[in-house]
Amino acid sequence: MATPKAAQLEQATGFTPNQKAWVKALVSEAVSATTKSLQAEILTEIAKAHSGGQATASTSTKVLEDRIETLAQRFEEDDKYSLTKAKLVRLMKAMGID
């Protein structure tokens, strides 16, 4: 079953125009705050990667790429107790096996 869209649910809620405006403002504020937070975090990580010169930036970029790869592998895992390729790779990295 598909998730209904806001426009489909709007009439069924029975909200007054003021209530609808409040909900929209609340959601907009939450999205804006989250976006600004993520943007600041990304800019901080980029600044860290480029702060120590070319060699450090290259090393930091590699660290960031590894972290992104690890997160992607964890996202792709389908079952908590199954032994997947992503889990094996993470275990090997944790043990220092490349």
In this predicted structure, what is the pLDDT of residue 11? 80
CA distance 84 to 89: 9
Report which of residues 23 and 47 the model is more confident about.
23
- Report the pLDDT value the prediction gives residue 45, as an integer from 0 to 100: 81
Q: What is the spatial distance between Cα 36 and Cα 44, in angstroms, rounded to a whole number?
A: 12
Where is pLDDT greater, at 18 or 60? Answer: 18
Q: pTM score, two decimals?
A: 0.43
Tokens of 83: 């032994």
Give 35-92 pLDDT, tens digit per residue: 988 888 888 888 877 775 544 556 677 888 888 887 777 766 555 656 677 778 888 8
Q: Residue 77: what pLDDT?
A: 59
Burial of residue 81 (CB within 10 Å: 0-12, 13-18, 19+) is: exposed
> According to the per-residue pLDDT averaged within each range, which of 6-10, 15-19, 75-79 is highest?
15-19
